Amino acid sequence: MNLTLLFLLHHSRAMFSKGTKRKFSDGGEELPEEGLPGSNEELSSVSYSLQRQSLLDMSLIKLQLCHMLVEPNLCRSVLIANTVRQIQEEMTHDGSWQAATMMEAFAAASAAGSGAAGPPERLVATEVLCRPGREMNGSPTAEPKLFSVMGYEECREEEVVAVEEDSICSEAASNVCLSGSMGHCWERGMLRGERELDSRLGAPDEDVDVEEEDEEEEDDNELEGCREEGEAKAMRQVFGTFEIKNSHPGPESALEELFSDVDASYYDLDTMLTGMQAAPKIGPYDLLDSLSQSHTPSSLSSASNCRSDLNELDHIMEIIVGS
């Protein structure tokens, strides 16, 4: 074996890789902890729910890409799907928690200091009235299960059951996809106080009826509602990605549905597609920066952005699918 030769070859490649090395999400970590003024809970909760929303969108896209593969990496797909379920649960929980605050838990919330209901930033317009009664009945039965896993401690098996309401009462689930209030931390040290409050309040909320709050939020932004509705649809589809050769609608139609609803413009599809090899071009906090700049985040503006990006996305997807 010729060691000298080896070193030569490696050396040249080493130079190359140095030149192309990318930095990894510069300075991102400052944002969550000290970047936000502690007094301004509204701001932090908005940023939290935005982060959560962007995480959800990212996860849905990842799942959809898994879905296009004949044989995806099952472990990865399952972990992403569980993440989506977890976010979904938390969003569901947020909504009920708000209703509870209004009805009975104002005192508890103010005692805890940081909590008072977050801005109804992305509350969902519902179609309570147009839903079939059967599905409406489905939601209250699903709710307690959802709350029972909110502690996450022993959520192994129950979680499975709780989040499978997709199949039973999917419409109901889509309607309780609320966000905008405080939730659990998604990054250590961030909003910790609020999370503690949240989990403390979690238990008493179990018996809250979702329908009540649905009515209260009914007049909210319609676009939002459609979007959430669509996400729930996408979720129903992506949860089915595990079965090899399953009988879901073809990738094209599924894609169309997904991308008309999820704002993919924030994501570097290339990064996600190339997966392991690619160094991240944009960190999540860059995403958030862009989110906060456009200010009317992910609602009106994203809906229109989304349309304009659709052509490009379609093109990318064509390449991926190979059509």
- H helices of 21-40, in order, are 30-33
Q: Which is nearer to another protein, 273 or 310 (CB)?
A: 273
Contact by Cβ (8 Å): 77, 242: yes
Contact by Cβ (8 Å): 170, 236: yes
Angle (CA) 271-272-278 rounded to 5° is 40
Q: Which is nearer to another protein, 188 or 295 (CB)?
A: 188
Integer Cα distance of 317 and 323 in angstroms: 9
Q: Which is nearer to another protein, 61 or 172 (CB)?
A: 61
Query: Considering the complex, what minimum distance in angstroms separates the CB of residue 13 from another protein?
Result: 7
Q: Which is nearer to another protein, 17 or 308 (CB)?
A: 17
> Per this entry, what is the length of the chain?
323
Q: Which is nearer to another protein, 288 or 313 (CB)?
A: 288
Residue 26 has φ and ψ, to the nearest 5°, of: -55, 125
Query: Considering the complex, what minimum distance in angstroms separates the CB of residue 2 from another protein?
Result: 8
Q: Which is nearer to another protein, 106 or 267 (CB)?
A: 267
Query: Considering the complex, what minimum distance in angstroms separates the CB of residue 82 from another protein?
Result: 6
Query: Considering the complex, what minimum distance in angstroms separates the CB of residue 115 from another protein?
Result: 18
Query: Considering the complex, what minimum distance in angstroms separates the CB of residue 241 from another protein?
Result: 9
- Which pair of tokens denotes residue 179? 């966000």
Query: Considering the complex, what minimum distance in angstroms separates the CB of residue 74 from another protein?
Result: 4
Query: Considering the complex, what minimum distance in angstroms separates the CB of residue 118 from another protein?
Result: 18
Q: Which is nearer to another protein, 126 or 237 (CB)?
A: 237
Angle (CA) 270-275-277 rounded to 5° is 100
* Contacts within 8 Å (CB) and 24+ apart, 256-261: 257/230, 257/233, 258/60, 258/61, 258/64, 258/230, 258/234, 259/306, 259/310, 259/313, 259/314, 259/317, 260/230, 260/306, 260/310, 261/226, 261/227, 261/229, 261/230, 261/231, 261/233, 261/234, 261/306
